[in-house]
């Protein structure tokens, strides 16, 4: 069987330029970023996990946060056009000390892991987030998992997608100390579920 993470990383490397250009405009998440920033306060240190070409890194910095961007795809990081403070990293083994950050922003990144690895990633989020810190997690809502073709260029290269339910996520978040404070749903070509969590 193909390695979902390796294949997805290779695809994101391949489509990096097109992906960065197509996501360069208004993305509809400004209210979410503002809510997240307000909960943290100016100067808070945030890890954007799965930052891609750093669009959210820039936007969160504009709101007064200090942000480090982490992504498995080197191509995506290079497509950021020189944004500083980006690191190639695996969300299953973050290069951060325990309790190192005040906030975690994880938008459409957990969904690229096989479902069986999601609890491990969430435990890693809990490890690096300080007590009282904030997690904003957005996933594709639904059932099933598998490879889907990319639509960012003509190659139709595959990316792995896992779909989640709110009860399933709560079942992984709460045992490692997260309290779900607020949820929101949205719709594009997918159904999206966002959870704003606090680490107790």
Domain boundaries defined on the chain: 4-22+29-199
For residue 104, which of 141, 74, 67 has the smallest C-alpha distance?
67
pTM, entire model:
0.96
CA distances to 10, 37, 46, 134, 138 from 33, in Å: 29, 6, 12, 12, 12
CATH number of the domain at 4-22+29-199, out of 2.160.10.10, 3.90.1010.10, 3.40.50.150, 3.40.50.720? Answer: 3.40.50.150
Look at residues 68, 71, 106 and name the one whose alpha carbon lies nearest to residue 195.
106
Q: 72: Cβ–Cβ under 8 A, 6 or more apart, which residues? A: 5, 9, 12, 50, 88, 89, 90, 91
Return per-residue pLDDT of the chain as tens, 200 residues.
789 999 999 999 999 999 999 875 557 899 999 999 999 999 999 999 999 999 999 999 999 999 999 999 999 999 999 999 999 999 999 999 999 999 999 999 999 999 999 999 999 999 999 999 999 999 999 999 999 999 888 899 999 999 999 999 999 999 999 999 999 999 998 999 999 999 99
d(C-alpha 100, C-alpha 5), whole Å: 26
């Amino acid at each position: 069987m193909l390695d979902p993470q390796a294949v997805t990383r290779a695809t994101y490397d391949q489509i990096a330029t097109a992906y960065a250009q197509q996501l360069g405009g208004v993305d509809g998440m400004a209210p979410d970023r503002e809510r997240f920033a307000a909960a943290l306060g100016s100067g808070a240190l945030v890890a954007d996990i799965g930052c891609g070409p750093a669009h959210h890194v820039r936007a969160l910095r504009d709101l007064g946060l200090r942000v480090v961007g982490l992504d498995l795809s080197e191509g995506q990081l290079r497509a950021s056009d020189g944004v500083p403070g980006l690191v190639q990293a695996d969300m299953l083994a973050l290069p951060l000390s325990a309790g190192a950050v005040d906030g975690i922003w994880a938008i459409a990144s957990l969904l690229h892991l096989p479902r069986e690895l999601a609890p491990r990633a969430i435990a890693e989020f809990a490890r690096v987030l300080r007590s009282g810190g904030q997690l904003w997690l957005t996933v594709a809502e639904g059932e099933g998992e598998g490879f889907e073709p990319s639509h960012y260029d003509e190659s139709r290269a595959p990316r792995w997608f896992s779909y989640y339910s709110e009860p399933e996520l709560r079942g992984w978040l709460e045992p490692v100390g997260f309290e779900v404070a607020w949820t929101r749903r949205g719709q594009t070509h997918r159904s999206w579920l966002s959870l704003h969590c606090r680490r107790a």
